[in-house]
Homo-oligomer: A and B are copies of this chain.
Amino acid sequence: MTRFRSHLFVCINRREEGNPKGCCASKESEAIAKALKIAAYDRGLKGTVRVNKAGCLDACAFGPAAVVYPQGVWYRGITLDDVDEIVERTLIQGEIIERLVMQAPPSGAPPGTPAPPPTDPAGAS
């Protein structure tokens, strides 16, 4: 059962000051997540698109980080100035904003690894 056309998760993980990993929350990610929620709501997207806060997305060096599903598009270094464009181009138009795309994952699959085929989504409805 698919509920949302696009489901955006924004990392709001906060680490203690001085942690060498850094964290998204120290780079305004909470304000960015809030602004994205408001912008999506203002565009009438409630019910078709959802913006959520998330715990650590394991992309600390690239923060503020976000991921859009089911497309699986990862964004890095987003700022408050990017909010309206993310809502308009990615959440509404389905476009990828190339300058925000996370190029190298800090862990996990190497860049460019193709996504596996979905697990029979029809079976979930």
- A residues 2-29 near B (Cβ < 8 Å) are 2-5, 7, 9
Question: Is there contact, CB below 8 Å, between B124 and A101?
Answer: yes
- Complex interface: chain B residues within 8 A of A125 (CB): 111-114
Question: Is there contact, CB below 8 Å, between A73 and B9?
Answer: no
Q: Indicate which residue in B72, B103, B107 contacts A69 across the interface (CB closer than 8 Å).
A: B72
With an 8 Å Cβ cutoff, the count of chain A residues facing the other chain is: 50
Copies in the complex: 2
Question: Is there contact, CB below 8 Å, between B103 and A123?
Answer: no
Question: Is there contact, CB below 8 Å, between A113 and B71?
Answer: no
Closest beta carbon of chain B to A31's beta carbon, Å = 15
Complex Cα distance A123/B70, Å?
A: 14
Question: Is there contact, CB below 8 Å, between B9 and A52?
Answer: yes
Closest beta carbon of chain B to A77's beta carbon, Å = 14
- A108 close to B (CB within 8 Å): yes
Give A33's nearest chain B residue, CB to CB. B55
Chain A residues with a Cβ under 8 A of chain B: 1-5, 7, 9, 46-48, 50, 52-58, 67, 69-74, 94-96, 98, 101-103, 105, 107-109, 111-116, 118-125
